[in-house]
Amino acid sequence: MDRLIAWQVFALRKKRQYFKKYYREKDLERLSNRNTVLVSKNGWGGSVYRHLDLPYNTPFVGLFLTAPDYIKMLQGFEYYGAQPLRFIQESKYDTGLTEKYPTGLLHDVEIHFLHYKDSAESRTKWNRRRERMPKRLDYSNFYFTMCGRRGGTPGLIRASHGLPFQNKISFGLNKIAGLSNLRLIQVHQWPIRKKGGFAQWEKMVQADVPLFGSDTLV
């Protein structure tokens, strides 16, 4: 059954890829606010901006945070957002990644700049995109996402929904008691193969969910 669902999701993803322009135009028609600020612990937010062909109104692009650090940052969002970005040689976390990339620090919260070549590029783009965020933080314009990867336990996912922000959505492999399907979107693992032939089960394949429903981006 899981493989059947995975193939159905795969087919939906391929359909959206082949008809990308059509879906982009339809999604833009449904998007009432094009100045949305997406705050995401991984690359999901950047994918949405690219899909809609909108400028990045957030510094949370091309990077990731572990779930414990992400929740800590959200709990003190204004404080951490005002901290200067500095860089460290080694993360306190075992990310399981072999790639070399810059690791930044906002006080005690690590930012893993996975898709940046060095600390100079990371700092420049972080600061430039942070400046695009509204000077007066009207959180009705912010959308916070959470997922089950990199330490995203059910407890931390549930904690993310308890934060005092209006717009929150999460993604996880399993349902969590107390969270509706519109608040927690269930995703499915997909067996992919990378160079070398090792099976990877870490890629979470998202279903064709209504990203622009009343509880998300509109």
DSSP per-residue string spanning 194-216? -TT--EE--PEEPP---TTSTTT
Pairing of strands 103-106, 86-88: antiparallel
Query: Structure tokens of 138?
Result: 């009207």
Whether the CB-CB separation of 193 and 200 falls below 8 Å is answered with: yes
The model scores a pTM over 0.85: no
Q: Could you list the pLDDT tens digit for every one of the 218 residues in the chain? A: 456 656 666 666 676 666 677 777 777 777 777 788 999 999 888 888 888 888 899 999 999 999 999 999 999 999 999 999 999 999 999 998 999 999 999 999 999 999 999 999 999 999 999 999 887 777 888 989 888 788 888 889 888 998 999 888 888 777 777 676 656 666 655 554 444 333 333 333 333 334 444 334 33
pLDDT digits (tens, 9 = 90+) for 19-69: 677 777 777 777 777 788 999 999 888 888 888 888 899 999 999 999 999
Name the amino acid, one letter, at 134: P
Amino acid at 47: S
Look at strands 142-147 and 168-172 and give their pairing.
parallel
CA dihedral 134, 102, 66, 128 (to 10 degrees): 0
Cβ-contact 188, 2 below 8 angstroms: yes
